[in-house]
Chain A
Amino acid sequence: MSIRTVTFDAIVVGGGGAGMRASLQMAQSGFKTALISKVFPTRSHTVSAQGGITCAIASADPNDDWRWHMYDTVKGSDYIGDQDAIEYMCSVGPEAVFELEHMGLPFSRFENGRIYQRPFGGQSKGPDDPTQAARTCAAADRTGHALLHTLYQQNLKAGTQFYSEWYGIDLVTTGDGKVAGVIAASIETGEVVFFKAKATVFATGGAGRIYSSTTNALINTGDGIGMALRAGLPVQDIEMWQFHPTGIAGAGTLVTEGCRGEGGYLINKDGERFMERYAPNAKDLAGRDVVARAMMMEILDGRGCGPNGDHVHLKLDHLGEEVLHSRLPGICELSKTFGHADPVKEPIPVVPTCHYMMGGIPTNIHGQAIRLSGGHEGEKEYVDGLFAVGEVACVSVHGANRLGGNSLLDLVVFGRAAGLYIEEALRQGMEQAEPNSDDMDRALSRLRRWEESSDGESVADLRQDLQSTMQNAFGVFRKGDLMADGVKKVAELRERIGKAHLADKSQTFNTARIEALELDNLLEVAQATAVAADSRTESRGAHSRYDFPDRDDENWLCHSIYDPKTQKLGKRDVNFKPKTVDTFQPKVRTY
Chain B
Amino acid sequence: MKVSIYRYNPELDNEPYMKEYDIDTQGKDLMVLDVLALVKEQDPSMGYRRSCREGVCGSDGMNINGKNGLACITPLSEVAPGVLEGRKPLILRPLPGLPVIRDLVVDMTMFYNQYEKVQPFLQNNTPAPAIERLQSPEDRAKLDGLYECILCACCSTSCPSFWWNPEKFLGPAALLQSYRFLADSRDQATEDRLGNLDDPFSLFRCHGIMNCVSVCPKGLNPTRAIGHIRSMLLERAV
Contact = CB atoms under 8 A, between A and B. Distances in A.
Contacts of A334: 54-55
Contacts of A45: 51-52
A524 B57 CA distance: 27
Nearest to B218: A333
Interface stretch (B40-48, B83-91, B221-229): B40-48
Could you say which interface size class chain B belongs to? 35 or more
Interface stretch (A96-104, A175-183, A225-233, A528-536): A96-104
A66 B226 CA distance: 44
B49 to A, nearest CB: 8
B45 A114 contact: no
Given A103-B122, A508-B10, A217 B52 contact: yes
A57 interface: yes
A27 to B, nearest CB: 13
Contacts of A459: 44
Nearest to B124: A102
A303 B121 CA distance: 50
A40 B116 CA distance: 14
Taking chain B's interface residues, is the majority helix, strand, or loop, or is none over half, making it mixed? loop
A460 B156 CA distance: 34
B234 interface: no
A510 interface: yes
B45 A512 contact: yes
Contact of A337 (B40, B47, B49, B55): B55
Interface residues of A, number: 57
Nearest to B108: A40
A263 to B, nearest CB: 19
Interface in B86-104: 101-103
A488 to B, nearest CB: 27
Interface string A87-125: 000000000011001111011111111110000000000
Interface stretch (A145-153, A192-200, A292-300, A476-484): A145-153
B121 A102 contact: no
A153 B102 CA distance: 28
Contacts of A101: 132-133
Contacts of B108: 40
Contacts of A43: 49, 51-52, 57-59
Interface stretch (A367-375, A383-391, A499-507, A567-575): A499-507
A459 B120 CA distance: 40
B140 interface: yes
Contact of B53 (A108, A113, A217, A507): A217
B147 interface: yes
B238 interface: no
Contacts of B132: 57, 97-98, 101-102, 107, 114-115
Nearest to B128: A102
Contact of A218 (B53, B128, B143): B53
Contact of A98 (B50, B131, B147, B186): B131
Contact of B73 (A102, A337, A507): A337
Contacts of B48: 511
Nearest to A253: B54
Given A503-B45, A508-B9, A113 B135 contact: yes
A471 interface: no
Interface string A37-64: 0011011110110000000010000000
A153 B115 CA distance: 10
Contact of A460 (B40, B73, B122, B148): B40
A441 B40 CA distance: 32
Nearest to A334: B54
A157 B121 CA distance: 7
B153 to A, nearest CB: 11
7 contacts: A102-B132, A104-B187, A145-B150, A157-B121, A460-B40, A508-B9, A509-B47
Closest 5 CB pairs of A and B: A104-B122, A113-B134, A153-B121, A101-B132, A512-B44
Given A109-B137, A507-B11, A508-B101, 8 more contacts: A39-B57, A43-B52, A43-B58, A98-B132, A330-B56, A460-B40, A509-B101, A511-B48
